[in-house]
Each structure stands twice: as structure tokens, then as C-alpha cells.
């Protein structure tokens, strides 16, 4: 009997030891699984946070890009509008210049007193005239004028005298009495003022001779018929 009792005690001790070992193993496995679950949850939360943050940053970038593109399009549209306005203004200016050209003529004119100078130099001392004529022989040197379409030779003469501070006297617009102080009959009974257009003497008064673009006008003083 004592031997059997001793065996029972040993067997009971072994079983108890096995149970303790099994319990310890189960406890260790449970702790490991719980730690793994905590790690998985933490990793998942971190991933979700990153996923949440990334779209926000992307959205901000996309918004900034859209705003920049919209501003650029607005500036481009403004530039295009300005260019169109400038082109329209330039076209209007060009058209206005063309209309002005159509409504005007450009001519040249000169006023000479060379024959009067020659006459004065040959006059006897007791008949000295003291006309104070310019030694160059030109009361108005060749100059260009732009006049309204339909302007006459008289209009050109009046404009040239006014622009150069030269006096002008006339009985009518077709009959000139004096230019620059040099009057008809100052150099003899047949002396006076005449004009030519493009080298030709028109058989009409100055106010009746209409000018064309590019005409060349010369007013000259004659002392006798040979000066004509």
C-alpha cells in the first residue's frame, strides 16, 4: 500500500506539472496574438491617416493649379482684347489718313522777284526804287503745301504768304496788286505779278485755276513782255 500511494503522488505531480506547462503556453500565445492585433490596428490607423492626408495635399495642389490656369486664361483674354482694340484703332487711323489724302492735295510753290532785281540794278540813280528786295531773288523759296481738295492757285499763294509772314495785296482773288511790298508798276508801267503751273501759264485768273496733287506753282514778277 505505501508503494501505490507513493506512485499516485508522483503521477499527480506530473499531471499538475503538465497542466501548468500547458496553461503557460496558452497564456503566452494569447499575449502574442493580442500584441499582434494591436500592431495591426496601429498600422491600419497610420495607413488611413496617410491616405486621408495625401488626398488633401493633392486637392490643394490641384486647386492652386486650377486657379493659376484660370488667371493665365484671364490674362490671355485681356491681352487678346487689348491687341484687337489696338488693331481696330490703327485701322481707323489708317482709314482716316486715307480719307484725308483723298480730300487734300499737296503742291509746291515759290515766289520770285529776280526780274525786279535785274530791273533795279539797271535803273539810273535818279530813278532808284529802294524796293528792299531779297538778294536771293526769292520772296518765298520753294515750299510744300497741303491744301483742301478743290483749292486754287490763289489759295496756295495766300497760304504761302501767311506761313512766311509775307504781305499780300489784291484787288480781287484773280488780280494781285503786291506781294512782299513789291507792287505792280513799281518797275515800269507794264510790270506786275503773274503765275505758272507746271511751267505753263494758264489763261485764267488765280482764283479760277484749280490745283491737282503734285502741281508746281511759280509766282514771278515781270517788268516787260519779255519776262513773261
pLDDT value, residue 100: 57
Query: How does residue 170 score in pLDDT terms, banded at 50, 70 and 90?
Result: very high
- 195 part of a folded domain: yes
The CATH number of residue 181's host domain is: 2.170.130.30
pLDDT value, residue 71: 74
pLDDT value, residue 90: 80
Query: How does residue 93 score in pLDDT terms, banded at 50, 70 and 90?
Result: confident
Residue 180 neighbours by CB under 8 Å, 6+ apart = 111, 113, 139, 140, 161, 166, 167
pLDDT value, residue 162: 97
Q: Which of 193, 183, 189, 177 is nearest to 131 (CA)?
A: 183
- 11 part of a folded domain: no
- 111 part of a folded domain: yes
**Model confidence at 97: pLDDT above 70:** no
pLDDT value, residue 91: 76
Mean pLDDT of the chain: 81
pLDDT value, residue 179: 98
- 159 part of a folded domain: yes
Q: What is the pTM of this model?
A: 0.57
- 133 part of a folded domain: yes
Classify residue 225 by its DSSP letter: G
- 175 part of a folded domain: yes
Q: What is the DSSP string of 186-197?
A: TTSTT-EEEEEE
- 54 part of a folded domain: no
Strand partners, 175: 172
**Model confidence at 96: pLDDT above 70:** no
Q: Domain count for the chain, please give it.
A: 1
pLDDT in tens, 3-13: 667 777 777 77
Segment 50-59 shows an average pLDDT of 54
**Model confidence at 45: pLDDT above 50:** no
- 53 part of a folded domain: no
The residue segments making up the domain with residue 146 are 105-227
pLDDT value, residue 225: 84
Amino acid at each position: 500500500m505505501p508503494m501505490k500511494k507513493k506512485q499516485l503522488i508522483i503521477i499527480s505531480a506530473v499531471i499538475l506539472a503538465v497542466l501548468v506547462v500547458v496553461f503557460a503556453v496558452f497564456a503566452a500565445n494569447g499575449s502574442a496574438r493580442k500584441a499582434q492585433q494591436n500592431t495591426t490596428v496601429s498600422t491600419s490607423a497610420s495607413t488611413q491617416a496617410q491616405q486621408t492626408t495625401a488626398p488633401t495635399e493633392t486637392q490643394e495642389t490641384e486647386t492652386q493649379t486650377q486657379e493659376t490656369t484660370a488667371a493665365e486664361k484671364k490674362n490671355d483674354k485681356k491681352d487678346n482684347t487689348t491687341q484687337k482694340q489696338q488693331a481696330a484703332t490703327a485701322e481707323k487711323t489708317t482709314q482716316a489718313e486715307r480719307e484725308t489724302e483723298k480730300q487734300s492735295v499737296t503742291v509746291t510753290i515759290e515766289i520770285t522777284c529776280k526780274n525786279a532785281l535785274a530791273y533795279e540794278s539797271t535803273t539810273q540813280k535818279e530813278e532808284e526804287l529802294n524796293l528792299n528786295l531779297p538778294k536771293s531773288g526769292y520772296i518765298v523759296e520753294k515750299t510744300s503745301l497741303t491744301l483742301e481738295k478743290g483749292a486754287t492757285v490763289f489759295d496756295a499763294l495766300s497760304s504761302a504768304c501767311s506761313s512766311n509772314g509775307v504781305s499780300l495785296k489784291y484787288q480781287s482773288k484773280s488780280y494781285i496788286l503786291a506781294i512782299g511790298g513789291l507792287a505792280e508798276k513799281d518797275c515800269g508801267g507794264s510790270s506786275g505779278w503773274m503765275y505758272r503751273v507746271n511751267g505753263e501759264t494758264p489763261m485764267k485768273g488765280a482764283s479760277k485755276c484749280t490745283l491737282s496733287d503734285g502741281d508746281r506753282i511759280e509766282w514771278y514778277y515781270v517788268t516787260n513782255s519779255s519776262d513773261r
